[in-house]
């Protein structure tokens, strides 16, 4: 089998890659497993240096990476240049996480022989989970792919990584891998701390390899569920951290519509069509007051949009079919379409109808990946609350309200909190800041593990597990648990948080 690098705009073949055989996947996993002690013994400081060297290597190759990725994805130079910077920034964030040290979650309980029953000396910390398999995303060829957040957080945790390259950007994947491996060597680490495999069969074999102890995945609901179920069916089931599909409902209250309709129409149109609507946090469902005029206000923004090139044939075919299905829903009207294109290009679509359609068409509660959004109009607060209650799990939910609507806003926030991982107020969900407090996850189908995030500092916890040392001889304790706190970590002793001295 062959994986081709395809020009997203012309459809021409650019380069050919042989699919990785099952035997080759197994060999990669064995090499990765052999490097677990290397990453562990490097400690937080050593791994921080590794991540920073990888970030430097990516930045040094930005021009080449962007040129190749633009050919494969048609995402444009400006967008991709920013994404490389975001990717190297993620690596540097996890270097900060490692140096700060609280990710180890060190807890010390002192022995108390006089208690009844006697209490032993207990010392608890997080350790690396094991080899991690990562599946690249189609829509973020850098930030959610070979050197993206899953890889960065796994390496930070001390876990070697084997990445399954996405079929829509294999050239970009290979170049990114080369940069990461050059960074590893520059930092004094073996280059095989991160490896790459190609092909659908290789992905299946990767999930089933007994040396792999966790999977990070960003992709479709169907593909994610297949791999999730495969991971759960192993003789030793493993965690599958999948980001699948997200509708990201956006609510506009009557007060907000009255106060700033044109402003919201412009911002929402831009958010829904950003990157040709290929963002996982695109607002795909808008709940607006009946008679507010939102659809009409947004129509001009959509009709002015030029034709757009999607990431690849499969994405375009899925969007075309999904748009046609929604346009065929009785009672749902096409308010506006973008300018017509040629060949491989698609046009944006804005659809609208009454909120009662949710009772007859479950399709409207499913994501349509691409430049399409649906406005459903409600007639009262109960109508709105019922619609929000019907929504499935999402990465985000957004609320635009007015100050005098505090009671309604509180009611909606309570509903939204149970259905999303990030609540956005008077703004738009596209644009996911990478930081310490970010949450990029949510109830199913947004993710398969709603207690975790794939973006931000907390992503590291997916690839760690706790171990307690009971009455351990001091010489056998890892440095993080020793008296004197040699790594100068924040630690909790007998329930009291202790900050390290900086002397």
Q: Give the domains, in start order, of the chain with CATH numbers.
A: 24-109+125-244+450-463 (3.40.605.10), 250-425 (3.40.309.10)
DSSP 58: H
Q: Which of the following is catalytic: 72, 83, 243, 367? A: 243
- pLDDT of residue 342 exceeding 90: no
Q: Which residue has the tokens 């969900």?
A: 429
280 in active site: yes
% of the chain at pLDDT higher than 90: 97
- pLDDT of residue 166 exceeding 70: yes
Residue 502's pLDDT is 64
List the one residue out of 319, 249, 317, 320 whose CA is nearest residue 278.
Answer: 319
377 in active site: no
Name 235's Cβ contacts closer than 8 Å, sequence gap at least 6: 210
Q: Are 377 and 292 in contact (CB under 8 A)?
A: yes
List the one residue out of 282, 309, 300 whose CA is nearest residue 374.
Answer: 282
Residue 341's pLDDT is 80
pTM (two decimals): 0.96
Strands 13-18 and 106-109: unpaired
Give mean pLDDT, residues 311-337. 96
DSSP 474: G
Instruction: Tell me the average pLDDT of the chain.
Output: 97
CA angle 159, 458, 87 (to 5 degrees): 70
Backbone angles phi, psi at 492, to 5 degrees: -105, 115
What 3-state DSSP class applies to 240?
Answer: strand
Q: Which of the following is catalytic: 280, 367, 368, 377? A: 280
pLDDT band at 408 (very low <50, low <70, confident <90, very high): very high
Give mean pLDDT, residues 276-280. 96
For residue 346, CA distances in Å to 79, 268, 273 come to 19, 20, 12
For residue 375, the cross-strand partners are 286, 352
pLDDT band at 43 (very low <50, low <70, confident <90, very high): very high
List the one residue out of 319, 329, 411 whose CA is nearest residue 368.
Answer: 319
DSSP 450: T
CA pair distance 293, 111, nearest whole angstrom:
68
């Amino acid at each position: 089998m062959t994986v081709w690098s395809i020009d997203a705009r012309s459809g021409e073949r650019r380069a050919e890659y042989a699919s990785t055989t099952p035997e080759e996947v197994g060999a990669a996993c064995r090499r990765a497993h052999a490097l677990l002690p290397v990453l562990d013994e490097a400690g937080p400081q050593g791994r921080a240096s590794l991540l920073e060297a990888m970030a430097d290597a990516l930045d040094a190759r930005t021009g080449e990476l962007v040129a190749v990725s633009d050919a494969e994805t048609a995402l444009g130079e400006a967008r991709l240049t920013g994404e490389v910077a975001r990717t190297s920034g993620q690596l540097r964030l996890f270097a900060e996480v490692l140096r700060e040290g609280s990710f180890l979650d060190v807890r010390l309980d002192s022995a108390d022989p006089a208690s009844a029953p006697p209490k032993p000396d207990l010392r608890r910390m997080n350790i690396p989970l094991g080899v991690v398999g990562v599946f690249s995303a189609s829509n973020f060829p850098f930030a959610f792919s070979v050197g993206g957040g899953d890889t960065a957080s796994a390496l930070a945790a001390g876990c070697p990584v084997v990445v399954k390259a996405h079929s829509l950007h294999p050239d970009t994947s290979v170049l990114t891998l080369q940069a990461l491996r050059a960074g590893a060597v520059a930092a004094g680490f073996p280059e095989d701390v991160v490896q790459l495999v190609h092909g659908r069969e290789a992905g299946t074999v990767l999930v089933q390899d007994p040396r792999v102890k966790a999977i990070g995945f960003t992709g479709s609901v169907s593909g994610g569920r297949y791999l999730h179920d495969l991971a759960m069916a192993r003789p030793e089931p493993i965690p599958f951290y999948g980001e699948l599909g997200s509708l990201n409902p956006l609510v506009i209250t009557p007060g907000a519509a009255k106060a700033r309709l044109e402003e919201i129409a412009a911002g929402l149109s831009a958010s829904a069509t950003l990157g040709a609507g290929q963002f996982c946090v695109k607002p795909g469902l808008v709940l607006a007051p009946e008679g507010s005029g939102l659809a009409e206000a947004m129509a001009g923004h959509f009709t002015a949009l030029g034709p757009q090139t999607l990431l690849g044939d499969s994405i375009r075919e899925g969007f075309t079919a999904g748009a046609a299905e929604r346009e065929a829903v009785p009672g749902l009207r096409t308010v506006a379409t973008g300018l017509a294109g040629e060949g491989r290009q698609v046009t944006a679509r804005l659809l609208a109808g009454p909120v009662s359609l949710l009772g007859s068409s479950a399709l409207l509660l499913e994501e349509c990946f691409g430049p399409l959004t649906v406005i459903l109009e409600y007639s009262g607060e109960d109508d709105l609350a019922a619609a929000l209650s019907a929504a499935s799990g999402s990465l985000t939910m957004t609320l635009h309200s007015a100050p005098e609507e505090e009671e309604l806003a509180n009611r909606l926030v309570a509903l939204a909190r149970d259905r999303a991982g990030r609540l956005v107020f008077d703004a738009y969900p596209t644009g996911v800041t990478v930081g310490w407090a970010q949450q990029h996850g949510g109830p199913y189908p947004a993710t398969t593990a709603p207690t975790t995030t794939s973006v931000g500092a907390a992503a590291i916890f997916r690839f760690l597990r706790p171990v307690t040392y009971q009455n351990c001889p001091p010489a056998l304790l890892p440095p993080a648990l020793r008296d004197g706190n040699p790594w100068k970590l924040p630690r909790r002793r007998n329930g009291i948080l202790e900050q390290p001295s900086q002397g």
